[in-house]
Chain A
Amino acid sequence: MAYTVRRPNLTFWEKLYLPNIVAGLAITFNHLKKMLKGETHVVMQYPEEKWDAHLPEYYRGAPTLVTDEHGRERCVSCQLCEFICPPRAIKITPGSLPSDSQFAKVEKAPEAFDIDMSRCIYCGLCEEVCPEQAIYLRKDYAVTGESRADMVHHKDKLYELGGTMPGLVHKWNPDK
Chain B
Amino acid sequence: MDFLNDIPWMLIAASIAKTLFLIFGVVLPIVSYTVYAERRVSALIQDRLGPNRTGFPISLFGFQKDLQLFLGGLGQPVADAMKFLLKEEFTPGHVNKFYFWLAPVLAMVPALSTLAVLPFGNFLFGQKMVVADVNVGILYVFAVASVGVYGIVLAGWSSNSKYPFLGSIRASSQMISYELSLGLSAVPVLMIIGNLNLSEAIQYQIDNGWLLLPFTDGKLTLRELLLWIPVLVSFIIFTISMFAETNRLPFDLPESETELVAGYHTEYSAMKFALFFLGEYAAMIAGSSIIVVLFLGGWHVPFLPINTLESSTTPSGIALGFLHITAFFAKVVGILIFFIWVRWTLPRFRFDQLMKLGWLYLFEIALVNIFITAAILAWVK
Contacts and interface: CB of A to CB of B under 8 A. Distances in A.
Interface of A: 18, 21, 24-25, 27-29, 31-32, 34-36, 40, 42-43, 45
B47 A24 contact: no
Interface of B: 41, 44-49, 236, 341-342, 344-346
A28 B345 contact: yes
A36 B345 contact: no
Contact of A21 (B44, B47, B345): B345
B325 to A, nearest CB: 28
A32 B346 contact: no
A120 B92 CA distance: 34
Report whether over half of chain A's contact residues are helix, strand or loop; otherwise say mixed: helix
B342 A43 contact: no
Contacts of B49: 43, 45
A31 B45 CA distance: 5
A31 B44 CA distance: 7
A29 B48 CA distance: 14
Nearest to B342: A25
A5 to B, nearest CB: 13
Contact of A31 (B47, B236, B342): B47
B48 A24 contact: no
Given A28-B344, A32-B341, A36-B44, 7 more contacts: A25-B345, A31-B45, A31-B47, A32-B44, A34-B47, A43-B47, A43-B49
A19 B45 CA distance: 20
B223 to A, nearest CB: 26
A126 B236 CA distance: 62
16 contacts: A18-B236, A25-B341, A25-B345, A27-B345, A28-B344, A28-B345, A29-B341, A31-B45, A32-B44, A35-B45, A35-B47, A36-B44, A42-B48, A43-B48, A43-B49, A45-B49
Contacts of A25: 341-342, 345
Given A28-B341, A29-B341, A40 B47 contact: yes
Contact of B346 (A21, A36, A42): A21
A27 B346 CA distance: 11
A32 to B, nearest CB: 5
A29 B344 CA distance: 10
Given A29-B341, A43-B49, A24 B346 contact: yes
Nearest to A36: B44
Contacts of A35: 44-45, 47
A31 B47 CA distance: 7
A27 B236 CA distance: 21
Contacts of A40: 47
A165 B48 CA distance: 40
A72 to B, nearest CB: 41
Give the most central of B46, B48, B344, B345: most A CB within 10 Å.
B345
A18 B344 CA distance: 16
B42 to A, nearest CB: 9
A35 B43 CA distance: 9
Contacts of A32: 41, 44-45, 341
Contacts of B47: 31, 34-35, 40, 42-43
A4 to B, nearest CB: 16
